[in-house]
Every structure is written in C-alpha cells, then in structure tokens.
A and B are shown apart, each in its own frame.
Chain A
Amino acid sequence: MSRISVPTTAPLPSSLRVNPSSTTVTKILSRLSRASLISVALDWLDEDNLSLATPYLRPDQDDDEEEDDGDFYPPASSPEELREEYLSLQNRKGSKRDVLDRITTGDWRHGVSLYQLAIADLQYLYDHPTSQKWSAYNIVPLKAPTEDDDGEVQPLEADKTSLTIPRFHPSLFLKSLQAQILPDIKAHYNLDRHKTLPLLILRIFVIDSPYNTPLSLSSNGKMDTGSKTILIAFPDGSPNIFISKPTSTGPTGASESKSLRALLVEGIPKALSLPRQRVTLQSTSLTTRNLEGLLDRRGATRGNAAGGGWSIYADEKVKESPLSTVLPSPPLSDAAEEEEQGNGDKKRRERPTVEERVNKRAKLVAQARFGDTARVGDGKGVERVDLVMEDPFEIGGDDADRMDIEGEDDGEEAFRPNVRLTFHGSHVFAGIRQLVECGVIDGEKMPGWMTGEEGVTIGAVRNGRIRGHKGSGL
C-alpha cells in the first residue's frame, strides 16, 4: 500500500479494505439478519470471490501458539476451514451479534473490502425488496446537434422520429460514467445480476475524497461523514432505467443527496451515449418501492402501454390463433350469458337475490375495468399515487362563492379548486379494485386513471384524463 495519497480520477478498487470498526461497515452489516450475514460470509468465501474478500488467516508458521490465547476468534488456517465453520454456524442457533463480531473482529479484522460491502448491501436488497424507492426513466435518443446562424450550438432536443433503440453495454458504460464523475469524489462500482428478476443492478458507492487509498476510507477519514450509495437497475430488453434514491451515512443534508442524484441523472445519459448517437433520460412519472411492479410497467413485457382493462390484449396465455376454426368467445361472455339467463329466469326460479346480482355485476365490472391486473396478491403494486386535479369544479348554483380559500380562480367561467389526491397503501390499485368489487365505487362511472392503466404514479388530471400519457410512452 502506498504511503502517499495522490489525487486521482480512477475509481475505487474493489479490493480496497475498509476498517471493520467504521460506521459504514457496521451500518451495512448490522442491518442484515443472522441468516443473511452467514450466507453473505459464505458468499465472500466462494472460490470466485475469494480474491476480493480474503479473510484473515493464520500465518503459515504454526509456532506462535501463545498469540492465539488471548484471541477470542482464532484465525482459521484456510478458507475451506472457515467455510465449514460458517456452515456449522448456519445449523447452530445463536445471536446475530456473535456472527457480526466474528466477522468484524475475527475473520475480517484486517478490513472488509468494498466488494464485500457491495455484496452485503445487495443481500439487504434481496431481504427487503421494498427498501429502496425507485424512479423509472426512459432512455430516448437525441437529435444531432445543430448550429444556428451565429454558430452557437442549439440545446439538444429529443428525436421523436428516431427508430434506434438505445443499447447498453455494461463495461463501456462504467468506463464512460467514471469519466463523468467529478475528480473530487471517488466512487466504487459493482455490477451484479438480480437473483430473481431480469435486472442488472449497478451499485455506486460514493465518498467525498479525491484519493483512492485506504487512508481516505479510514475511520477518521471522509467515509463516515459523507458516503452515499445509489443503485441503478437496467431491465433486460427494455430502454428504461430505474434509479434509486441515494442513501447516505453520516449527517448529509437532503439537498446534497438530491444533487448527487441530479448529477447521476445528468451523467448516465452521457455514459450511455455512443459516438454520433446521443441519448437523454426522460422521467416517466413512475416512482415506487416495488421493483417487480416497475418491471411489469416498464420492463420487456407487452403490458407496458396496456394497463388496467387493456391487459386482456397483452395476456400471452390467451390463445388466439387465426388457424383455429372454433368461434372465439369474447372475454366475460360466459359470465355475461349466465347473468342474462339469470335475469330472464328470475321470476320462475327466484334463485339470485337482488343483492347477489348486484355483487356479481360489480365483480364483472371490476373484471372489465381492471382485467387481470391489480390483484391483491400479484406483487406488482405501487404504494403511493399522487394526482393533481385540474378540472373545473362543477358548480351547482348557489354555492359558487363558498370556497375560495385555496382555490385559484381561472377566469369567470371556470372555478378550479386546487385539489391534490394521494392514494397510499400496500397496493393502491388492488385496493380500488376491491372497492369496486364491493360496490363502494361505481365501476362503470369510475374514471380511467383510477384503474392504473396509465402506468404512472404522479400525474395531473384534466378533463377526467391524465394529461400527457407519459406512461404509454407516446
């Protein structure tokens, strides 16, 4: 290790070790459960990762027995031995503290590498899939720069008529992203495939230091005061990108972490651009904690621009071959027929009561408006939807001048009160669907934005529709 720190523009190497007693390490490791800690440790000891996560092992000369006496966690002699030790820990019962102590004061007392921290951090994401808040961005091509009469370069515009789909090459992307990061902060990058979802996750760990030596990571260095982590997910086969909200250790202000995100949102499109093929990121007004829900709305599926009731067109399970000679039965037709029969025979058989029929009708309407989406257990829910109503208030005569406290009047003829709606819950649209099924909401009069078919979580409603249709991508 070098004694002098020279400012550099290189990224932080994965093998760089961090003092295990620093707050960053304890914070990342202590939030994992015992089982996860052990599986992370076993992951570190894996053949492929061993070079970047070398544990503290007993030196080869076995003569210094007396040194081990005071050692609570005597070092193992080989990674295999250590692996078995952790495997046996897995079967034993014990407290999380023991495992954590063993890692920080025993087997990795000489330091935990940045790579190890990245693995541990990702494990936390797998354990708590909703721990991060993701925003979806669309990658769109830009027009070639043009110059006006004075020779000044015009600001770049999105090329709407372009037919190229932006391409993503991980290592090239990292290389050019590094060039975009300012020299006075240092970052560590780790790319990993998501265990279950078709995603590539890039973890960027940033510290405020121009050096990439262990000194900058020492406990009294910058690491504990201003390190930040940001996750970027690249879905397979889709020109979208999900960026998480940066989490930071230490007392950094909200504005600072916002500026880091802004910096990245600015840097990522430059890193994604290729010569003569520039791209930019466009917000798609979709922010959620649920990665699976994001993938469903912005991934490589058919349902991206066909949410809600339109999902019947996107369902790949439905067989609709033009070679089939059997007359197709339109969706809901069987049920609808049954109901019609029920209506006709009601007087004779007196089976379905009025209440039953109303319930059945409400269920059918919900099926028509939501299709197969927004089911409680489908795991694709968004937890928050914010909407601004921009429709004029329908004034019923005498109460015209009753409320002008918060309303902004838009001329004489239209009164537009400032109404903001926030839906909050574990699965917002499944909740609305349930209300429709119980008959609380009239499914036939319900506006389309309540079905979630736009695929946005932030929007403005005008004329009963969400403006812009950003969700449909057109």
Chain B
Amino acid sequence: MSSPLRTSPQPPTLDDEISALQSKTSTLLTSPSTLALLSSDPKLTSQSSLHQSHHLQTLYRTCATLTLFRAQDPDPNAVDAGSILGLRIEVVSRAKFLRPYYVLFNRPWASSSSLPGPQRKWLRVHRHTVPSCIPLSGLAARYLPSPDKDDTRRKQDLGKFARGVRREVVRYHARLGTVADLRKAAGLGRGGDGGDKSGLVDISPADAEVRHVSVEWGDGRTGRLVIGDDGEVEKLVVVGENGRDREAGRELLGGLGLAGTVKAEEVVRRLAGTGGA
C-alpha cells in the first residue's frame, strides 16, 4: 500500500495519507501490547474492541466466505417488524475479492397462527443481489420451501441453500474467468486483432450462464465449447465450410484427449503455449 506512495513523483494526497494511517492505527489498536497500555482509557478500549470485532468479522468473511448478519427493513409495513437476516457470499475473481453477493431473508409466517410454532420461523428470500443467471429461485424452492401445516416432513435448510448458491456463484465466476483467460491466451481482447498463430478471431460467452462459449476462426470456422460444472470441456463442435470439422476440434484440445475429460484450463495453457512460441 505504501510503495506506490514512495515511488510516485507527486507528493501523496491527504486522503492517501489518512487511509494509510487508518490501516496502521487499526492494526495498532488491536495488538496485545497496545491493549495493555490502553486498559486505563475507556474511550480507547471501546474503540479497540470495535476494531477487534471487525477483525474477527473479516477473518470469518475471508475464510468461511459465507457469513450472516442482521438488517432492518425500512418499510413500515414489513412483515415480522422488519427483521431481516442477511447472507453474505464472498467471491474471489482474479485474485481479488469482489463486492459480495447478498441474499436477504425475512420471516413472513412469523405471525400466522395456523402454523405450528417451528414453521413460523421459516425464512423466505426477500431481496437478493445474485445475478439472474444463477438459479436462485430453484435453489430456494428446493431448500427453503414455504411451510405447509399438513406436510410435516417439509424442512428448510439454510445451510444447504447457502452452499448451493455459493457453489453456483463460484462456478459462474470461474467460467467467466476461464473465458477471459481463453481470450488472453489466444491473444484477443487487447485492441489488436491478434490471434495470428492460433487463427482465432473471437471467443465469447454464448449464453447467460457462460456455459456455452462460441469460438470463431479467421477462416470462417465456428465452434461451440460447453464448459461443465467442474470446469471440464463437456462438448466441442467445430463447423467449417464443409460441415463438421473434427480436425480443428482435436487441434483446439491439442490432443489432450476427448472432450469430457479435458479441463478448460488445460486448453488455456495449451493456447497460451502456442501463442508464445
């Protein structure tokens, strides 16, 4: 954080200095030796405990990646007096934490007298920021069904739901990253037409979920690559002028084996290899 400040020719702005200082004080405030010194000042101890709990929270967020929090619905007519349970899903893409995705639940059956007690506490997805290409409603219908007093076998499982959403979100971002890597390996996407060695002119996602990737060659051949759940190339079809071009498909996979056993990352590595040679 401080290295760009030192190397930059302009003097650091006040904001930079403040943020650098803030991160230092935060670390200082929570270190055991300072804690011992602070114990006499109530204002500083409360500040320090704030920082400590924040550190604990970020630790959980970093390592567990699924965290819960409480929130308040501002709507005066909200069910259950506006109590909201929030689920925070952390996503890492390209070695950076993205803005987490949120799913916010409420308890619409809290005051319904016809339901047995435990079912009144059941959750329902109220708001969420998960992109529409994640089958959130399907997962909610599976793991967070609405209560039914006649059907006692019904169960809600927030843990399974959260894990399911997280799995889909992570897969989605992994696929997005793979397509970006494929483009990079083929020398596409940085303005120039590139791709002379591989002959590829375009690689782009072809559907909302980025499961299908369309591949285009300079000579008019087009292909479709299907990425599976675990990042394997499920299917690959290349169509040239005279129908299906199996040769080109094998070439793209680089003799790594049949489609279905090859990982998409291996194709990336192979493309990058030929591009560099």
- A160 and B126 CA atoms in complex are apart in Å by 17
Q: Are B23 and A474 within 8 A (Cβ)?
A: no
**Chain B nearest CB, measured from A156 CB (Å):** 17
- A305 and B213 CA atoms in complex are apart in Å by 27
Q: Are A474 and B137 within 8 A (Cβ)?
A: yes
Q: Are A302 and B138 within 8 A (Cβ)?
A: no
Interface mask (B209-245 → A, CB under 8 Å = 1, otherwise 0): 1011000000000000000000000000000000000
Q: Are A305 and B129 within 8 A (Cβ)?
A: yes
Query: Given A160-B141, A237-B133, A327-B50, A464–B58 Cβ distance below 8 Å?
Result: no
- A167 and B135 CA atoms in complex are apart in Å by 13
Contacts of B208 in A (CB 8 A): 165, 167-168, 236-239, 300
A313 within 8 A of B: yes
Q: Are A239 and B133 within 8 A (Cβ)?
A: yes
Q: Are B132 and A313 within 8 A (Cβ)?
A: no
- A104 and B128 CA atoms in complex are apart in Å by 53
Within 8 A of B (CB), among A219-240: 236-240
Cβ-closest chain A residue relative to B84: A310
Residue of B51, B124, B127 near A306 (CB, 8 A) is: B127
Q: Are A322 and B132 within 8 A (Cβ)?
A: no
Which label, helix, strand, loop or mixed, suits the secondary structure of the B interface? mixed
Q: Are B133 and A318 within 8 A (Cβ)?
A: no
Q: Are B51 and A162 within 8 A (Cβ)?
A: no
Contacts of B126 in A (CB 8 A): 472
Cβ-closest chain B residue relative to A473: B137
Give the segment of B38-46, B75-83, B192-200, B247-255 that binds chain A. Answer: B75-83
Interface mask (B103-125 → A, CB under 8 Å = 1, otherwise 0): 01000000000000000000011
A261 within 8 A of B: no
Interface mask (B60-103 → A, CB under 8 Å = 1, otherwise 0): 01100000000001111111000000000010000011111110
Contacts of B130 in A (CB 8 A): 302, 305
Q: Are B138 and A162 within 8 A (Cβ)?
A: yes
**Chain B nearest CB, measured from A172 CB (Å):** 11
Q: Are A474 and B125 within 8 A (Cβ)?
A: yes
Residue of A160, A237, A453 near B137 (CB, 8 A) is: A160
- A309 and B104 CA atoms in complex are apart in Å by 13
Within 8 A of B (CB), among A149-163: 159-163
B26 within 8 A of A: yes
- A463 and B75 CA atoms in complex are apart in Å by 12
- A320 and B91 CA atoms in complex are apart in Å by 11
Q: Are B133 and A165 within 8 A (Cβ)?
A: yes
Contacts of B209 in A (CB 8 A): 165, 167
- A304 and B212 CA atoms in complex are apart in Å by 23
- A446 and B83 CA atoms in complex are apart in Å by 18
A82 within 8 A of B: no
- A468 and B27 CA atoms in complex are apart in Å by 48
Cβ-closest chain B residue relative to A443: B74
Which label, helix, strand, loop or mixed, suits the secondary structure of the A interface? loop
Residue of A238, A320, A453 near B99 (CB, 8 A) is: A320
A314 within 8 A of B: yes
Within 8 A of B (CB), among A131-174: 159-165, 167-169
Within 8 A of A (CB), among B141-171: 141-142, 168
B246 within 8 A of A: no
B15 within 8 A of A: no
Interface mask (A447-474 → B, CB under 8 Å = 1, otherwise 0): 1100001000000000111000000111
A326 within 8 A of B: yes
Cβ-closest chain A residue relative to B23: A325
**Chain B nearest CB, measured from A443 CB (Å):** 9
**Chain B nearest CB, measured from A445 CB (Å):** 6
Residue of B73, B100, B124, B125 near A320 (CB, 8 A) is: B100
The residue in B57, B100, B131 that gathers the most chain A C-beta atoms within 10 A of its C-beta is: B131
A368 within 8 A of B: yes
Q: Are B136 and A474 within 8 A (Cβ)?
A: yes
- A238 and B77 CA atoms in complex are apart in Å by 31
- A238 and B206 CA atoms in complex are apart in Å by 12
Q: Are B26 and A325 within 8 A (Cβ)?
A: yes
Q: Are A162 and B132 within 8 A (Cβ)?
A: no
**Chain B nearest CB, measured from A213 CB (Å):** 31
Residue of B58, B76, B98 near A447 (CB, 8 A) is: B76
Q: Are B51 and A327 within 8 A (Cβ)?
A: yes
Q: Are A448 and B78 within 8 A (Cβ)?
A: yes
B180 within 8 A of A: no
Q: Are B133 and A300 within 8 A (Cβ)?
A: yes
Within 8 A of A (CB), among B1-58: 19, 22-23, 26-27, 50-51, 54-55, 57-58
B140 within 8 A of A: yes
Residue of A163, A304, A315 near B132 (CB, 8 A) is: A304
- A448 and B82 CA atoms in complex are apart in Å by 11
- A238 and B59 CA atoms in complex are apart in Å by 34
Query: Given A447-B75, A464-B77, A465-B77, A300–B131 Cβ distance below 8 Å?
Result: yes
Residue of B19, B74, B75, B97 near A323 (CB, 8 A) is: B97
Contacts of B129 in A (CB 8 A): 302-303, 305-306, 310, 313-314
B262 within 8 A of A: no
- A298 and B131 CA atoms in complex are apart in Å by 10
Q: Are B141 and A326 within 8 A (Cβ)?
A: no
Contacts of A313 in B (CB 8 A): 102, 104, 127, 129
**Chain A nearest CB, measured from B31 CB (Å):** 12
Cβ-closest chain B residue relative to A167: B207
Contacts of A310 in B (CB 8 A): 104, 127, 129
B139 within 8 A of A: yes
Query: Given A327-B26, A465-B75, A322–B90 Cβ distance below 8 Å?
Result: yes
A61 within 8 A of B: no
- A320 and B96 CA atoms in complex are apart in Å by 11
A94 within 8 A of B: no
- A372 and B51 CA atoms in complex are apart in Å by 29
A324 within 8 A of B: yes
Contacts of B101 in A (CB 8 A): 302
Cβ-closest chain B residue relative to A448: B75
Residue of B27, B97, B206 near A321 (CB, 8 A) is: B97
Contacts of A275 in B (CB 8 A): none
Query: Given A306-B128, A325-B23, A164–B135 Cβ distance below 8 Å?
Result: yes
7 contacting pairs across A/B (C-beta < 8 A): A238-B208, A239-B132, A239-B133, A306-B127, A319-B99, A369-B74, A472-B126
- Name the 6 nearest CB pairs between A and B, nearest first: A464-B77, A448-B75, A322-B61, A302-B129, A160-B141, A163-B135
5 additional A-B pairs beyond A160-B138, A326-B26, beta carbons within 8 Å, are A164-B135, A303-B129, A327-B50, A465-B79, A474-B136
